């Protein structure tokens, strides 16, 4: 199946007389005839369900669809993108370990790594994604366990050189995790470029309708844990908390990572989405390919319009010819990038605030990447406590506006933006 077909068909194939849509198994518990039957599940000798804190069939249909879309061998749904980021790293790196991460990542991920996971004893080195080979080499330490980057960084719109970072990670015997939220598997499949694990905030384009918060972790099944057994004792030595199972031996390259994340992390931390939310997410996935195409075509036209406007200071959009990341985006995302654009209004913070007041169609929201066009001026909302100098220091320009282009008629979006620019 090709990608567009997988959006509709992958993950669930009804048998004769069964429901066409994935069933919503809204149940915490599953019944067994004998204790022996259930015992086999606990020993991971048989596959099946026993308690929805660890696994649920509805969720697994959706996980299988996303695994197929990304070209992975196994996947796990999580209750949020944040939970996916946390689990994906914590499944490999524990207290005393070290992680190399791109400095251009989602703010929530940066905070998770730099504050919360540091408190857990995990050390992070953040590297400029465009750093020199020497700088990248110097970031690795003997206790480095994983490398982390974002295909198109939210909100900086920096395109990550996946192939380069995959090579560097593999040369050091560790896997590369990619947050592919903004590109989606419609526009980029990081596993094809060497990534080992792919995560998403499904809250964004995958759901696409402002309906559910969620996340997913996909394993490529390619990383050879046993070849680096000294680095990954959690996968390559017996798990005493789980009946002495050695995940990499029992489940191989294809299944070890996700089985450990389910049996250990989901069991202990319980960040599982509700089956109902996964059902709603699946509806979004069915139209993902069609929507992404429209998001990209609309955003390209809006970016072109803004580029030539006399009241606009600059436009950042990797799908716009001349953008710093245009060429790299063409390599990794030949069919389009995403719907998110950032631009500056001439006249700084005050003029940007005026622009926001003039919009009629675009809604003001902290959210991005869904069907509705929405817009945010960080300097007057999320970052309003900061002075202009402080804003610049943390990489947010006072005049910067983030526009998430929806799938409405593009002429309506352009007229809305044009009207608001007119008024300032
Ligand atoms: C929103 C977002 C997250 C966090 O996801 P939630 O679902 O909000 O927890 C992670 N990464 C990226 C790129 C995001 O845009």
Structure tokens at 105: 């990542």
Cis bond before residue 155 (omega within 30° of 0): yes
- The number of the ligand 1 atom at minimal distance from the alpha carbon of 83 is 9
Instruction: Report the alpha-carbon distance of residue 220 to residue 195 in Å, rounded.
Output: 8
Nearest 5°: the CA angle 27, 279, 3 is: 135
Ligand 1 in reach of 203 Cβ (< 6 A) = yes
Instruction: Report the alpha-carbon distance of residue 158 to residue 151 in Å, rounded.
Output: 8
Instruction: Report the alpha-carbon distance of residue 157 to residue 32 in Å, rounded.
Output: 50
Instruction: Report the alpha-carbon distance of residue 181 to residue 396 in Å, rounded.
Output: 21
pLDDT mean across residues, the chain = 96
CA distances from 382 to 115, 135, 201, 385 (A): 19, 32, 20, 8
pLDDT in tens, 318-339: 999 999 999 999 999 999 999 9
CATH number listed for the domain at residues 289-422: 3.90.1150.10
Mean pLDDT of 262-288: 97
Residue 134 CA to ligand 1 centre (angstroms): 30
Number of C-beta neighbours around residue 46 at 10 A: 11
Separate counts of helices (H) and strands (E) for the chain: 18, 12
Residue 370 CA to ligand 1 centre (angstroms): 13
Instruction: Report the alpha-carbon distance of residue 128 to residue 226 in Å, rounded.
Output: 31
pLDDT higher than threshold 90 for residue 400: yes
Q: 3-283 and 289-422 share one CATH topology? A: no
Helix, strand, or coil here: 241? helix
pLDDT in tens, 220-249: 999 999 999 999 999 999 999 888 999 999
Q: Note whether 370 and 406 are within 8 A (CB).
A: yes
Residue 84 CA to ligand 1 centre (angstroms): 9
Structure tokens at 293: 């195409």
- Protein residue with least CA distance to atom 2, ligand 1: 201
- The number of the ligand 1 atom at minimal distance from the alpha carbon of 213 is 7
Reply yes or no on domain 3-283 having CATH 3.40.50.2300: no
Ligand 1 in reach of 108 Cβ (< 6 A) = yes
pLDDT higher than threshold 90 for residue 386: no
Tell me what pLDDT residue 391 has. 79
pLDDT higher than threshold 90 for residue 148: yes
- Cα–Cα nearest to 173, from 147, 199, 211, 207: 147
pLDDT in tens, 69-123: 999 999 999 999 999 999 999 999 999 999 999 999 998 999 999 999 999 999 9
pLDDT higher than threshold 80 for residue 394: no
- The number of the ligand 1 atom at minimal distance from the alpha carbon of 85 is 10
Tell me what pLDDT residue 384 has. 83
Instruction: Report the alpha-carbon distance of residue 110 to residue 268 in Å, rounded.
Output: 24
Q: How many residues does the chain have?
A: 424
Instruction: Report the alpha-carbon distance of residue 57 to residue 77 in Å, rounded.
Output: 11
Residue 240 CA to ligand 1 centre (angstroms): 33
Q: Where are the domains of the chain?
A: 3-283, 289-422
Strand segments, DSSP code E, in 320-410 are 340-345, 363-364, 374-376, 400-404
CA distances from 275 to 9, 54, 234, 283 (A): 19, 12, 29, 13
Residue 86 CA to ligand 1 centre (angstroms): 11
């Amino acid at each position: 199946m090709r990608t567009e077909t997988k959006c509709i068909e992958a993950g669930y194939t009804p048998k004769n007389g069964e429901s066409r849509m994935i069933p919503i198994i809204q149940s915490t518990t599953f019944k067994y005839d004998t204790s022996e039957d259930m015992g086999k599940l606990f020993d991971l000798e048989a596959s099946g369900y026993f308690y929805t804190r660890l696994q649920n069939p509805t969720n697994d249909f959706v996980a299988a669809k996303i695994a197929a879309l990304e070209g992975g061998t196994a996947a796990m749904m999580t209750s949020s993108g944040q939970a996916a980021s946390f689990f994906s790293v914590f499944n490999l790196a524990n207290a005393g370990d070290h992680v190399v991460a791109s400095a251009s990542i989602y703010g929530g991920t940066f905070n998770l790594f730099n504050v919360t996971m540091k408190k857990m004893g995990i050390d992070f080195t953040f590297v400029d994604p465009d750093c020199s080979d020497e700088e990248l080499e110097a970031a690795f330490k003997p206790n480095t366990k994983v490398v982390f980057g974002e295909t198109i960084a939210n909100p900086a719109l920096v395109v990550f050189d996946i192939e380069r970072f995959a090579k560097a990670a593999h040369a050091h015997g560790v896997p590369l995790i990619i947050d592919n939220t903004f590109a989606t598997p419609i526009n980029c499949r990081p596993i094809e470029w060497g990534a080992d694990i792919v995560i998403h905030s499904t809250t964004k384009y995958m759901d696409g309708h402002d309906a559910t918060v969620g996340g997913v972790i996909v394993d490529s099944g390619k990383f050879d844990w046993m070849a680096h057994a000294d680095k990954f004792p959690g996968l390559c030595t017996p798990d005493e908390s789980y009946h002495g199972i050695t995940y990499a031996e029992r489940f191989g390259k294809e299944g070890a990572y996700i089985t450990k994340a389910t049996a250990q992390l989901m069991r202990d931390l319980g960040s599982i989405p509700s089956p109902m939310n996964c059902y709603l997410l699946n509806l979004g996935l069915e139209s993902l390919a069609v929507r992404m195409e429209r998001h990209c075509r609309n955003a390209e036209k809006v970016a072109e319009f803004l580029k030539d406007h006399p009241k606009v200071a600059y436009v950042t959009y990797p799908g716009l010819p001349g953008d710093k990341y245009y060429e790299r985006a063409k390599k990794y995302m030949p069919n389009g990038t995403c719907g998110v654009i950032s631009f500056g209004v001439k006249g700084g913070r005050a003029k940007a605030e005026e622009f926001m007041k003039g919009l009629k169609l675009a809604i003001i929201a902290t959210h991005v990447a869904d069907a509705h066009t929405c817009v945010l001026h960080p300097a007057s909302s999320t970052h309003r406590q900061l002075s202009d100098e402080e804003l610049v220091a943390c990489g947010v320009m006072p005049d910067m506006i983030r526009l998430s282009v929806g799938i409405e008629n593009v002429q309506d979006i352009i007229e809305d933006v044009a009207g608001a620019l007119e008024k300032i």
